[in-house]
Amino acid sequence: MSVGMIDTSRIEAMVAQLKTAAARANPAVENPLQARQATGAVDFQSALKSSIDQVNAMQLQSQQLAQRFEMGDTTVSLSDAMIALQKSGIALQQTVQVRNKLVSAYQEIMNMGV
């Protein structure tokens, strides 16, 4: 469903992804409903921080794999290093796009008349 220029289905999908990332950040609770009951509600800040932390971890891991390959570690193949680098690059691009959407939504909200 689209309201004006906002595609609500894409926003709902992003919220679902953020909730999934928050659930992964708290492995003791596997069910998101149990997480809400245990902690009240998943707040946006913690979900966003969890997602950014995961992207950061992915970036660090890919850099370490690439460095190990460059240093001649025979347990790391070129394809493994390249795939990790591409995955981390895509995750970073996705994070930037989410940030752009959030800034755009914020600006749109601030421009609304009350």
Q: How far apart are CA 90 and CA 59, in angstroms?
A: 10
Question: Regarding predicted confidence, which is higher, 6 or 8?
Answer: 8
Q: Where are the beta strands (DSSP E) in the chain?
A: 2-3, 6-7
Q: Where are the domains of the chain?
A: 2-110
Quick: pLDDT tens for 37-60: 555 567 888 888 888 999 999 999
Cα–Cα distances in Å, from 42 out to 19, 23, 28, 78, 94?
7, 9, 15, 39, 21
